[in-house]
Amino acid sequence: MSVFDLTVTDALLSTTRAVRKRLDLEKPVPRQIITDCLELALQAPTGSNRQGWRWVVVTDAAKRAALAELYRKGVGTYLDDAYHEASASGATQDSRVFDSARYLAENLQHVPVHVIPCIDAGHIPADAPPRAWGGLMGSIYPAMWSFQLALRARGLGSVLTTLHLKFADDASSLLGIPQNIVQAGLMPVAYTIGTSFKLAKRRPLDEIVHWDAW
């Protein structure tokens, strides 16, 4: 016997996609939905249960436009370069992903809500080993994913983006984010156009799982 309805939970876990072109740029998002989804996100784990997360929710149009500019600066030639690299190596799915990523870069300012998940890094010395930084980011990413799942369950969508982070300091100045607070990404949030999303094609499990030894 399952504890939850697996038809529902498995569909949620397997169809929460990176949504870009199907973000509804016209439909307003009620503040309550964002706070409900953030409340759920706070049930995620953090290292030592430190809960250093902070969330900056941006609805102001001028600030979204400024963030979109930083995002585009961050994109630079990255998408074109990555696309050419993927085509040269024979990767298949990629033209659609890059198309979709370009669309987001062009339209980010129109997405009604930008959520910037952050984490307090005040306790980590600048020369800390990578393990410490892994633990720091590992204390915000699970919550980011929970937030995305909660959105999906309510008919909204998002995509985890990181390309503005090259200019994270500018975003911090724009939003008054203190120096000890590290941004983990930028999640554009909107209702989705339609709610049916497909299972993604991933690498076969057999290729990547090792039982008892590598």
Ligand X SMILES: Cc1cc2nc3c(=O)[nH]c(=O)nc-3n(C[C@H](O)[C@H](O)[C@H](O)COP(=O)(O)O)c2cc1C
Q: Which residues bind ligand X (CB under 6 A)?
A: 17-18, 20, 97, 101, 104, 159-163, 200
Bridge partners (DSSP) listed for residue 117: 55
In three-state secondary structure terms, 49 is: helix
**Which structure tokens are listed for 7?**
């038809």
**Cβ-contact 79, 101 below 8 angstroms:** yes
Closest CA to 119 of 79, 60, 178: 178
Q: Looking at 46-110, which runs of residues are DSSP E strands? A: 53-58
Bridge partners (DSSP) listed for residue 189: 113, 158
Query: Which of 20/64 has CB closer to ligand X?
Result: 20
Query: Which of 61/200 has CB closer to ligand X?
Result: 200
Q: Identify the DSSP state of 68.
A: H
Query: Which of 36/99 has CB closer to ligand X?
Result: 99
Contacts of 202 (CB under 8 A, 6+ apart): none
Nearest distance from C-beta of residue 209 to ligand X, angstroms: 19
The CA–CA distances, whole Å, from 45 to 149, 200, 203 equal: 15, 26, 27
**Cβ-contact 20, 31 below 8 angstroms:** no
Nearest distance from C-beta of residue 1 to ligand X, angstroms: 30
Query: Which of 143/163 has CB closer to ligand X?
Result: 163
Nearest distance from C-beta of residue 97 to ligand X, angstroms: 5
Q: What is the CA radius of gyration of the chain?
A: 18
Nearest distance from C-beta of residue 17 to ligand X, angstroms: 3
Nearest distance from C-beta of residue 78 to ligand X, angstroms: 9
Query: Which of 35/200 has CB closer to ligand X?
Result: 200
Phi, psi of 181 (to 5 degrees): -100, 120
**Which structure tokens are listed for 184?**
């983990």
Query: Which of 1/201 has CB closer to ligand X?
Result: 201
Nearest distance from C-beta of residue 88 to ligand X, angstroms: 19
